[in-house]
Amino acid sequence: MDVRAKVIFVLLPFFLLISNAYGADFKPPLHLKWVTKLKKEKAVTKRPYQFASPAVTEDAIYVGAASGYFYALSSKSGFKIWNAKLKGGVYSEPYVDTDNVYIADRKGIVYALNKKNGQIEWQIETGEEISSKPAVDNDVIYVATTQKHIVALDKFGRGKKWQTSKVGSLQQITIKGSSSPLMYNGNIYVGYADGTFNCFKASNGELVWSKQLSDRASQFIDVDSTPLILDGVIYVASMDGKTHAISPADGSVIWQADRGGPNDVVTDGEKLYITGGGRLAAVDPKNGTILWEHNFHDIEISSPAIKDGFLSLISTSEKLFVVDDKTGEIKYNRYLGKGSFGKPVIFGDVIYILTNSSSLFALQGS
């Protein structure tokens, strides 16, 4: 055997190890890899709540908690690499780039945290609560406030570029959480708690169109779902129990399905998966036909994470479920940290979930 062949032979197990680490199949049953306790929120009620979801990279997990602490943890061990104390609680997912982590808190402050050590590089106050993930495009960060504003910020901390004008008023009672902005073809698309879905110019915040999606007669009308773009069509759910396929050009409704809720619509590229009212449904994106449905019997559930033919979702009170994406059949379930109001994230063959017990779980597929 020549030297080159020997080198290839020796290195082959290493490449297979790397492939298995990040390209491994995700399938049930799941096994606990690690669990890390995060600082709890000081609440009057006995039961804590968590609404945030983690962002996962090959090396680290970045996640905020309702207590106002933001963490970077080792994806291998769950060891806390660093933490930063913010002024408000975190109810959303961060945006991570090469150098920084961008996150907003409920005090309406947007932060750029150094990815290596958690140092606050800059912070900008918007004056209104933010409970959704920032959108980043080139040198601009866009955040949606719970008071019906889109705020454009300079990515390097040089302040606001523009802010949209508020149109109309909000309901007296709204659902916790809000839609994250979607960037598409030079526009920003976002839902509001008054049941409208809106399109703004990304360059200056000018309103292009606004569409009332929810039935105003319903008890809750929020459009808190982050919009999804698939094959040039936008899909978004509303709290009155519907999902809408919308033309990005003018906001016209292509079809409407009687399934939906506060959670994001997700896709595997062929089907849409919609949760709300304790039900999970697979829907045809072409016409809104319901292909199958599973009723979790009054348990409210999260948006699903999708990988390798399985959907993973968690209830707001107790269990994690893994479901077959072709039939909706439950393949695995597990009691997990009092449930979560956030959503699970899958990276490789590991699922990460921040639960209402303020614990971050890493569960590995077999």
What's the order of all strands across the beta sheet hosting 319-324?
305-307, 310-314, 319-324, 330-335
pLDDT > 50? residue 66: yes
Neighbours of 319 (CB within 10 A): 16
pLDDT > 90? residue 253: yes
DSSP string, 339-362: --SS--EEETTEEEEE-TTSEEEE
What is the structure's pLDDT at 177?
A: 66
pLDDT > 50? residue 11: no
pLDDT > 90? residue 178: no
Per residue in 114-138, pLDDT tens?
Answer: 999 999 999 999 999 999 999 999 9
Burial profile 76-101: b = 16 or more Cβ within 10 angstroms, e = fewer: eebeebbebebebbbbbbbbbeeebb
The reported pTM is 0.90
Over residues 21-49, the mean pLDDT reads: 79
What's the order of all strands across the beta sheet hosting 207-212?
182-184, 187-191, 196-201, 207-212
CB 215 within 8 A of CB 221: yes
Torsion of CA 242, 248, 249, 251, to 10 degrees: 20
Confidence of residue 96 (pLDDT cuts 50, 70, 90): very high
In percent, the amount of the chain with pLDDT more than 70 equals 89
Neighbours of 8 (CB within 10 A): 12
Six token digits for residue 216: 């105003």
What is the structure's pLDDT at 299?
A: 84
pLDDT > 70? residue 327: yes
Confidence of residue 215 (pLDDT cuts 50, 70, 90): confident
Helix (H) / strand (E) containing 81: strand 80-85
CB 124 within 8 A of CB 103: no
pLDDT > 70? residue 195: yes
Contacts of 93 (CB under 8 A, 6+ apart): 52, 53, 54, 55, 133, 180
Residue where the block lists tokens 């409704």: 253
The reply to whether omega before 29 is within 30° of 0 (cis) is yes
Per residue in 269-320, pLDDT tens?
Answer: 999 999 999 999 999 999 999 999 999 987 899 999 999 999 999 999 889 9
Per residue in 230-241, pLDDT tens?
Answer: 999 999 999 999
Six token digits for residue 85: 């104390």
Residue where the block lists tokens 């709540």: 49
Q: Is the torsion defined by CA of 140, 146, 148, 149 positive or negative? A: negative
Contacts of 220 (CB under 8 A, 6+ apart): 171, 173, 174, 175, 239, 240
Alpha carbon separation from 53 to 101, 161, 270, 320, 353 (Å, rounded): 14, 28, 25, 15, 7
pLDDT > 50? residue 8: no
What is the structure's pLDDT at 155?
A: 96
Per residue in 43-53, pLDDT tens?
Answer: 554 557 899 99
Top-confidence residue, 24 or 354 = 354
* Out of 41-45, 119-123, 175-179, 242-246, least confident range: 41-45
Top-confidence residue, 288 or 220 = 288
C-alpha span between 78 and 236 (Å, rounded): 34
C-alpha span between 25 and 17 (Å, rounded): 13
Burial profile 126-136: b = 16 or more Cβ within 10 angstroms, e = fewer: bebbbbbbbbb
CB 280 within 8 A of CB 274: yes
What is the structure's pLDDT at 7?
A: 39
What is the structure's pLDDT at 47?
A: 57
Q: Is 252 exposed, middle or buried (0-12, 13-18, 19+ CB in 10 A)?
A: exposed
What is the structure's pLDDT at 46?
A: 53
